[in-house]
Amino acid sequence: MRPPAVVWDSALLGYDLGGQHPFNPVRLLLTIRLATELGVLDGVELLVPDAAGDEELLRAHVPEYLAAVRQAPLVGWDVGHGLGTDDNPVFGDMHDASALVVGSTLLAARKIAEGEATRAVNIAGGLHHAMADRASGFCVYNDCSVAISWLLDHGFDRIAYVDTDVHHGDGVQAAFYDDPRVLTISLHQHPFTLWPGTGYSAEVGRNGAEGTAVNIPLPPRTRDASWLRAFHAVVPSLLAQFEPQLLVTQCGVDSHDEDPLADLSLSVDGHRAIYATLRELAGTYAGGRWLAVGGGGYQLVRVVPRSWTHLIATVLDRDVAPDTRLPPEWVADVGRAAPDTEIPVAMTDGAETAFKPWGDEVDDPVDIAIRDTRRAVFPLHGLDPDDPRD
């Protein structure tokens, strides 16, 4: 296997929605610092991205929207396209900073397509809400959709996209809703209870692509064991049937119990278990090819840096043991910068991640989602929704 690719440049911190906006790029900085100080990145050459050009952005966006993003800082508030709202405020170099995020995920995709890496990770990516003609949910341009579109033109016919962010991966689903070459699977908090209000089990794709959109809406307060139970009841079987050549994963960590914007109750240990599972599934079903991007995550100090350090470590096969102590220098610096926050001391929340596989006669609140999702899509893949062996 080729060495994994890690994309990072401090210029990515320029995607900054400003003020008290929850999408604060400090989370990326704290993650890279933590991964560096733990030795996870020792000897790893970080790949520096270029901004994506219009030709690439137009894979996922309409020309009028690109023009609106470019003009937004100049013309003030009346630009439409979801820009200039509380969620998506206009900032000075919005176009360039957003195009750089897309370029960073494209670079990761290129490394895999060109055979220079089997796996690649870009924690700055994962802007899964951006739509063809509008900004949405803190996302200006959709790096996931652009990269998948590019990969479809560069040797890949079957791509699986798995989205573990707490919010529905609506922008990526919309981009490929009628494309049978892309299987999108999103696990998220139930749309009744969380923005953007989509991601029901009944959303399955259309126009010959029925079954290639998959949604697993989970009840609020779902914990690690139940989340993993739902994941394993649906995802591996579909990957086995779909036979992707590449696994793309959006790894938002706003599913954590302490995240201020949502209500699932996962732990850093749960996130670590998810990444190990994604790596294993890429190995089993996608020739080892795995492109991992970041996403949401708004507990900037206590959650994101530890969870995404685990993500980078998992991609690099340098798994960090949960009881690993955080480097004293990182703890001291972050403690000074965030004096009111209790800084964690180890790479664990002390949570138990063992789970009971679905089909065990025990009734778990997530079993409703499992049954609904399996019944909605399994028959479209020739699988029996009611047989736990499928």
Q: Which of 163, 165, 203, 259 binds Zn ion (CB under 5 A)?
A: 165
CB of 252 to Zn ion, least distance (A): 4
Q: CA 243, CA 216: separation in Å to the nearest integer? A: 20
Pairing of β 119-122 and β 159-163: unpaired
Q: Which stretch binds Zn ion (CB under 5 A): 102-110, 165-173, 225-233, 266-274?
A: 165-173
* 193 neighbors 220 (Cβ within 8 angstroms): yes
Q: Which of 9, 254, 257, 349 binds Zn ion (CB under 5 A)?
A: 254
Q: Is 9 in the site for Zn ion (CB under 5 A)?
A: no
Residue corresponding to tokens 């897309």:
102
Q: CA 49, CA 11: separation in Å to the nearest integer? A: 9
Question: Quick check: helix, strand or coil at residue 248?
Answer: strand
Element (H, E) at 223: none
Q: Is 167 in the site for Zn ion (CB under 5 A)?
A: yes
CB of 187 to Zn ion, least distance (A): 12
CB of 360 to Zn ion, least distance (A): 30
Q: What residues are paired with 161 via a beta bridge?
A: 184, 248
Which is the catalytic residue, given 129, 188, 256, 381? Answer: 129
Q: Which of 82, 296, 322, 344 binds Zn ion (CB under 5 A)?
A: 296
Q: Is 129 annotated as catalytic?
A: yes
CA 100 to chain centre: 17
CB of 137 to Zn ion, least distance (A): 7
Q: Which stretch binds Zn ion (CB under 5 A): 66-74, 138-146, 167-175, 322-330?
A: 167-175
Q: Which stretch binds Zn ion (CB under 5 A): 86-94, 234-242, 294-302, 307-315?
A: 294-302
Sites for Zn ion among residues 82-141 (CB under 5 A) = none
Q: Is 56 in the site for Zn ion (CB under 5 A)?
A: no
Tell me the H-state helices in 42-192.
Answer: 54-57, 63-75, 94-113, 143-152, 170-175
Q: CA 211, CA 206: separation in Å to the nearest integer? A: 8
Contacts with Zn ion by CB under 5 A: the residue count is: 5
Q: Which is nearer to Zn ion, 254 or 349 (CB)?
A: 254
Closest CA to 214 of 369, 26, 335, 15: 369
Question: Which residue's C-beta sits nearest to Zn ion?
Answer: 296
Sites for Zn ion among residues 234-253 (CB under 5 A) = 252
Question: Quick check: helix, strand or coil at residue 159?
Answer: strand
Pairing of β 119-122 and β 5-7: parallel
CB of 297 to Zn ion, least distance (A): 8
The residues binding Zn ion (CB under 5 A) are 165, 167, 252, 254, 296
> Which residues are known catalytic residues?
129
